[in-house]
Structure 1
């Protein structure tokens, strides 16, 4: 099999978590190898995931947006998308951020409605 990776991946055995749907949906996974550009992750059971999702590796203190490169029954090859933020955003915090953004949008709409009715 031809390996198209730009750099060598180091073997790992790290617990991880896949999060999508604004971090409302999660699956535990195992990060089997890791490089600066991507990783191989494995699951206990076959899973259906979107083509892009967040990969959280708590032990590394890392949370990254990833894109699926290849799929097997219980494993995925992923590439990291964008830049590394270097921080893990806990799921509870992600929920709180989503709630605050929704409240902000509702308040902005209310201001627009009041501005239009004042005219």
Structure 2
């Protein structure tokens, strides 16, 4: 009997887990997936933090995930919203970095224009 609120469809997606301030990554296989969570399989035993980012290229997205259970090389995840987490997602981090670079470029241009007066 299915106990989940959102049933998961079987899948076979490649995934990348990112943690440790995105300095550590780990490849995994997403075995089932729903909008609320996923089951992943890893090729080796590794310690996972309670929260991390899961990027799934075929879904074209990065999901903030919380570890719910772990059994050997498999783990169950629940996706959380950015509001539930103290850590921002990889997508948001990339956008923020691009915006900061754009602001710095514009500030340099304004400085060039005002110094010439």
TM exceeds 0.5?
Answer: yes
Match of 1:44, SS state, is coil
Structure 1 runs of 4+ with >2 Å offset: none
Count of aligned pairs: 91
Partner of 2:11: 12
Unaligned regions of 5+ residues in structure 2, if any? 83-88, 101-117
RMSD, aligned CA: 2.5
Match of 2:5, SS state, is coil
- Could you state the TM-score of these two structures normalised by the residue count of structure 2? 0.69
Unaligned regions of 5+ residues in structure 1, if any? 101-119
Match of 2:58, SS state, is helix
CA contact (8 A) 1:61 1:88 kept: no
CA distance in 2 between counterparts of 1:72 and 1:58 reads 25
Partner of 1:24: 23
- Could you state the TM-score of these two structures normalised by the residue count of structure 1? 0.68
1:40 is aligned to 2:34? no
